[in-house]
C-alpha cells in the first residue's frame, strides 16, 4: 500500500527538478487520489492542443510529450524512491504519461464524440491503473521508476484498445 504522505527517508533535501517531475509539477501533493490529479493535469494540458490544434499535430505532440515525459518521469520516479520509499503515492508522473497515451485515439476526432470520450478515456485509464488486470500488476515488479511507469503505460495501452473498439465498432459512424 502506498503511503499517504511522503516522508524523506534519505535524510537530505530532495532536489527540486526530480521532485517536480515525479509529482507532475505538484499535482501529486494534492489531497486524495494524487494519481487522478496527475491524469487530470494531463487532460488540462492536452485540451488547448485538442481544441485549437490540427488533429495530426495534436496526435504527434501528444505522443512526443508522452515519450519525453515517460523518460523524464521514469528517472524522476526512480529518484523519488530514494527519498520517499518504494512507489510513493505523490509520484504521479506515470499517471500523466498514461493519460496522454489514453488520449491518443481522440486526437484525430474522426467519428468520436470528443467531450464525453475524454471522460471515458479518463475512466478507462484509471480503471485499468487501479485494478491492474491482464498483467498490469506484473509490470510493477520492474525495478525503480521502470515499474512505476510501465504499469501505467500498459494500463494506457489497454485504454487505447477499448477506446478504438468503442469508437470504430460500437458507436455509429
Q: How far is CA 124 from CA 18, 28, 157, in A?
A: 28, 20, 10
Specify the range with the lowest mean pLDDT, choosing from 9-13, 53-57, 63-67, 126-130: 9-13
pLDDT for 68-97, tens place per residue? Answer: 999 999 999 999 999 999 999 999 999 999
How far, in Å, CA of 12 to CA of 40, rounded?
31
User: Residue 117 CA to chain centroid, in angstroms?
Assistant: 17
Q: Which of 155, 167, 56 is nearest to 101 (CA)?
A: 155
The angle at the Cα of 66, spanning 146 to 24, to the nearest 5 degrees, equals: 75
Q: Is the pLDDT of residue 2 over 60?
A: no
pLDDT at 172: 65
Q: Which of 133, 32, 122, 35 is nearest to 77 (CA)?
A: 35
pLDDT at 59: 95
Per-residue confidence at 1, pLDDT binned at 50, 70, 90? very low
Kind and range of the H or E run holding 60 = helix 55-84
How far, in Å, CA of 27 to CA of 17, rounded?
14
pLDDT at 4: 58
Query: What whole-number percentage of the chain has pLDDT above 70?
Result: 92
Q: Which residues contact 136 (CB under 8 A, 6 or more apart)?
A: 128, 129, 151, 154, 155, 158
Asked whether the whole model's pTM tops 0.85, one would answer: yes
pLDDT at 81: 95
CB 86 within 8 A of CB 7: no
pLDDT for 21-36, tens place per residue? Answer: 999 999 999 989 999 9
pLDDT for 136-167, tens place per residue? Answer: 999 999 999 999 999 999 999 999 999 999 88
Mean pLDDT of 89-116: 86
How far, in Å, CA of 129 to CA of 94, rounded?
10
Number of residues that make up the chain: 173
How far, in Å, CA of 46 to CA of 60, rounded?
12
Amino acid at each position: 500500500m502506498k503511503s499517504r504522505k511522503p516522508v524523506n527517508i534519505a535524510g537530505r533535501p530532495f532536489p527540486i527538478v526530480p521532485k517536480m517531475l515525479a509529482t507532475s509539477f505538484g499535482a501529486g501533493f494534492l489531497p486524495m487520489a494524487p494519481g487522478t490529479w496527475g491524469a487530470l493535469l494531463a487532460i488540462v494540458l492536452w485540451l488547448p492542443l485538442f481544441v485549437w490544434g490540427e488533429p495530426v499535430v495534436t496526435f504527434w505532440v501528444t505522443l512526443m510529450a508522452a515519450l519525453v515525459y515517460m523518460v523524464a518521469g521514469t528517472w524522476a520516479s526512480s529518484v523519488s524512491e530514494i527519498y520517499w520509499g518504494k512507489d510513493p503515492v505523490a509520484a504521479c508522473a506515470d499517471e500523466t504519461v498514461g493519460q496522454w497515451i489514453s488520449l491518443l485515439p481522440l486526437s484525430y476526432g474522426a467519428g468520436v464524440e470528443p467531450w464525453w470520450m475524454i471522460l471515458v478515456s479518463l475512466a478507462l485509464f484509471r480503471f485499468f491503473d487501479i485494478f491492474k488486470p491482464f498483467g498490469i500488476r506484473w509490470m510493477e515488479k520492474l525495478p525503480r521508476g521502470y515499474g512505476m511507469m510501465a504499469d501505467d503505460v500498459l494500463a494506457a495501452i489497454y485504454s487505447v484498445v477499448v477506446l478504438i473498439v468503442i469508437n470504430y465498432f460500437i458507436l455509429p459512424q
